[in-house]
Amino acid sequence: MQAKKRYLLLSLGACCLLLGVYFGGLHPGLPAPASFAPARDSSGRRPLSGYLKAEDGEPRRREKSRAGARQGRGCRMETCFDFSLCRRHGFRVYVYPPQEGDKVSGTYRKVLAALESSRFYTADPGRACLFVPAVDTLDRDRLSPEYVSDAGSRLQGLPRWRGGRNHLLFNLYAGTWPDYADELGFDSAQALLAKASSGAGAFRPRFDVSLPLFAKEHPQRGGRRGALAAHHVAPARRYLLAFKGKRYLTGIGSETRNALYHVHNGDDLLLLTTCKHGKDWQRHRDGRCERDNAAYARYDYQELLHNSSFCLVPRGRRLGSFRFLEALQAACIPVLLSNGWELPFSEVIDWNKAAIIGDERLLLQVPSIIRSIGPDKILVLRQQTQFLWDTYFSSVEKIVLTTLEIIQDRIFSHINRNAVMWNALPGGLFVLPQYSTHLADFPFYYLVLGQTPAKEFTAVIQAVSPLLTQSQTILKLILSVAKSKYCRQIIVLWNCEKPLPPQNKWPSTPVPLNVIEGDNKMMSSRFFPYDLIQTEAVLSLDEDSVLSTNEIDFAFIVWRTFPERIVGYPARSHFWDNSKGCWGYTSKWTNEYSMVLTGAAFYHRYYHYLYTFYLPSNLHSMVNQMSNCEDILMNFLISATTKLPPIKVTQKKQYKETMMQQGSKTSRWADPEHFAQRQACMNAFTNWFGFMPLLHSQTRLDPVLFKDQVSILRKKYRDIEKL
């Protein structure tokens, strides 16, 4: 009994002591607890310390940085972003001008240039929704010559910083040797981070944006095309899996790379590593180094990339690596071994359709996993790598624009893009949700939805000459179009300097005829998305085009089969002029073409919206000042969007290119200056797109029995052969 009382008293005393410690903390008179030291084993030796040991003096700075980072760790758009700035003037991005003493790397200059050339840019901070500092935060490795030591204080001094709210920071490299901790070295607070090699632990979902790691040589605009041509079936490749890179003998990233030799078989699995890198590699060399270095030297890296179906992408010192984008460009399916890596643009891109996401701990299972994938699936994966590369990653500009579009979708979540728009042609950059959020409203998804466009169109006729007589070509054209059973309405866009003719000057038609004045009488106004246009199909016509009702009906039927393309009659072509070192424009009659002019062509009405709101104002200004080239620009835009050429229908030599001077009576097609302007336009447009989007074609679609030696009564479009 006495023993039970003693145990009870001891238990009560222990509870009181624990409560006192819990509520009162350690007694101030007690000595501070000693730092933890690993215990010695039975032999008296201490176990080996880890390789992630921090340098002297680093822990205090790192803890201070992490404490600052924790202030914004819980940030989400709803808590750390001021949406009211975006409701006033829409999504506009302001770039701070560089201040005296700012050290800006060449790569960050590309980022800033992409921002300033985007359609979101504003030079007025009062109209901005998002702010981007000129302070270079791309490289936060203290050992790098591009490291900006006072970046934190410079950011704090920005006039609109407000703790980073509504600010966007770009970063490619965080942390430094030896532990490469995922930190910037300053308090980013409530700023959004567009960051490469993001770890899932530090990444703030739907607030930060995960970027790919790209090299300094990555082009600002355009970029290399993918190795696998669109719509082509590529031959089987020689190797199944390949890797060629550094083998880290110690430190972060060494575990996986040191084990790759277990998978390498020297036949269809080539996993080549070298120890020969770094200043002290010989000090750490092991028994495999000499053999690995010899095998490594026998193979060319680019040849391996372009001759392998799968490319291993293990983590390096950081989670991301250049190898990821290199594999995408080469149409080599990435096999990712980087646990915890938040993949680039993972918020919108479904990487399961383009990559194999593995586990570093299960390296030996990789060969059996990829061998189980059939050739059909391999082709689908490779094609998706090309789509993603060409759409989002081939240039710094595309990476920056994708980042902005993701942020804009978060801000205006009621009109954002869905997963199909991001992961299928033409991609999120060419699908503007402000036009619509429904797939059926775009010309790209009819096949996916199992639908076809409606059997009706709106004709838009560009009028630049005064209406003087009742025998003018435009009046005959209106009557021919009105007779089409597919025509819903006709819109005459009056871009003439003369006053609008009265209603009784226009012919009576069985369909509504609306005459409206163009916006400022500019050439680009013919492609404005007028509310009057309610049909999916638009028939664009010049005022002196000569078309019969049969021709119009046949071209419309063809367009319904290819609703994402331009379908029409007047064809033109481009060529590379070696003597001048530039692109040329030709109207010569050949079997090959790359443009169908909008003087007589069908296309989807969405392209009016895309032309008006996607293209920059300087291209619109160029077209309007010349009163020329708007048809070429529309061809550039549609070919860049679809990666497809236009379609020409039934040969028609009577058509004359009729881009006329306002108020003149002579056609410009015979004017040498007209062609010189069009060549200048070709090169200016190519410069803006960063590549030549036009594609040549030799396809011409004719009616069934066209020119066949059979009775005319058996032919549906009988009038076409008489022209």
Q: Which amino acid is at 608?
A: H
pLDDT at 441 over 90: yes
Query: What is the spatial distance between Cα 244 and Cα 326, in angstroms, rounded to a whole number?
Result: 12
H helix and E strand count, the chain: 22, 21
Confidence category of residue 55, pLDDT binned at 50, 70, 90:
very low
E-only strand ranges, 104-166: 130-132
Of 139-148, 270-279, 536-545, where does mean pLDDT reach its minimum? Answer: 270-279
Whether residue 627 is predicted with pLDDT greater than 80 in this model: the reply is yes
pLDDT above 60 for 665: no
Query: What local confidence, expressed as pLDDT, does residue 7 receive?
Result: 54
pLDDT in the model for residue 122: 97
Q: What's the rounded mean pLDDT across residues 341-369?
A: 96
Using 50, 70 and 90 to split pLDDT, how confident is the model at 447? very high
Say whether domain 457-701 belongs to CATH 3.90.550.10: yes
User: What is the distance between the alpha carbons of residues 179 and 41, in angstroms, rounded to a whole number?
Assistant: 27
pLDDT category at 668 given cuts 50, 70, 90 is: low
Q: Is the pLDDT of residue 26 over 70?
A: no
Instruction: Work out the average pLDDT over 405-413.
Output: 97
pLDDT of residue 8: 56
Fold assignment, 239-391: Rossmann fold (3.40.50)
**pLDDT tens digit string along 61-96?**
444 444 444 457 789 999 999 999 999 899 999 999
Helix axes of 617-626 and 672-689: crossing angle, nearest 10 degrees: 180
- 528 HSE (CA, 13 A, CB side): 18
- Is 48 or 534 the better-scoring residue by pLDDT? 534
Helix H segments across 28-92?
58-71, 77-80, 84-89
Q: What is the mean pLDDT of residues 654-666?
A: 43
Mean pLDDT, range 125-149, rounded to an integer: 95
pLDDT of residue 231: 59
Average pLDDT (575-601) is 94
Does residue 561 register a pLDDT over 90?
Answer: yes
3-state secondary structure of 94: strand
Lowest mean pLDDT among 17-31, 63-77, 138-152, 526-540: 17-31
DSSP secondary structure letters along 257-308: HHTGGGT--SSSEEEEEE---STTHHHH--TTHHHHHHHHHTS-HHHHHTTE
Peptide bond into 334 cis (omega under 30): no
pLDDT at residue number 275: 86
Mean pLDDT, residues 510-534 taken together: 92
State whether residue 138 is helix, strand or coil.
coil
Instruction: Measure the CA–CA gap between 64 and 227, rounded to whole angstroms.
Output: 46
The mean pLDDT of the chain is 87
Is it the case that residue 660 has pLDDT exceeding 60?
no
Question: Tokens 């290199």 belong to which residue?
Answer: 326
**What are the tens digits of pLDDT across the range 477-488?**
999 999 999 999
What is the pLDDT at residue 180? 86
Q: What is the mean pLDDT of residues 201-214?
A: 95
User: Is residue 17 over pLDDT 60?
Assistant: no
Give the residue-averaged pLDDT of 481-507: 94
The angle that helices 630-642 and 606-613 make with each other, rounded to 10 degrees, is 110
Is the pLDDT at 184 greater than 50? The verdict is yes
pLDDT tens string 366-402: 999 999 999 999 999 999 999 999 999 999 999 999 9
Contact between 615 and 666 (Cβ < 8 Å): no
What does the pLDDT read at residue 25? 45
- Lowest mean pLDDT across 20-24, 421-425, 578-582, 670-674: 20-24
Confidence of residue 720 (pLDDT cuts 50, 70, 90): confident
- 205 upstream amide cis, omega within 30 of 0: no
> Looking at residue 224, what DSSP letter applies?
P
Q: Higher confidence at residue 320 or residue 521?
A: 320
Contacts of 90 (CB under 8 A, 6+ apart): 129
- pLDDT for 238: 93
Distance CA 154, CA 86 (A): 25
Residue 14: pLDDT band with limits 50, 70, 90: low
**Confidence (pLDDT) at 170:** 98
pLDDT(60) > 60: no
pLDDT at 309: 97
Give 372-381 contacts, CB < 8 A, sequence gap 24+: 375/236, 378/309, 378/333, 379/233, 379/234, 380/353, 381/333, 381/353, 381/354, 381/355
Task: Read off the pLDDT band of 183 (50, 70, 90).
Answer: confident
What ranges do the domains of the chain cover?
65-211, 239-391, 457-701
Would you state the pLDDT for residue 658? 43
pLDDT of residue 53: 37
Please, which pLDDT band fits residue 233 given cuts at 50, 70 and 90? low
Q: Which residues of 476-490 are buried (b: 16+ CB within 10 A; e: fewer)?
A: ebbebbbbbebbbbb
Among 327, 268, 283, which Cα is nearest to 302's? Answer: 327
Work out the pLDDT band at 338, boundaries 50, 70, 90. very high
Provide the pLDDT confidence category of residue 34 given band limits of 50, 70 and 90. very low
Compute the average pLDDT of residues 133-143.
Answer: 95
Structural contact between residues 313 and 335, judged by C-beta atoms closer than 8 angstroms: yes
Give the per-residue pLDDT at 391.
97
Q: pLDDT digits over 262-287, tens only?
A: 999 999 999 999 888 766 666 767 77
CA distance 158 to 131: 10
Report the C-alpha gap between 413 and 403 in whole angstroms. 15
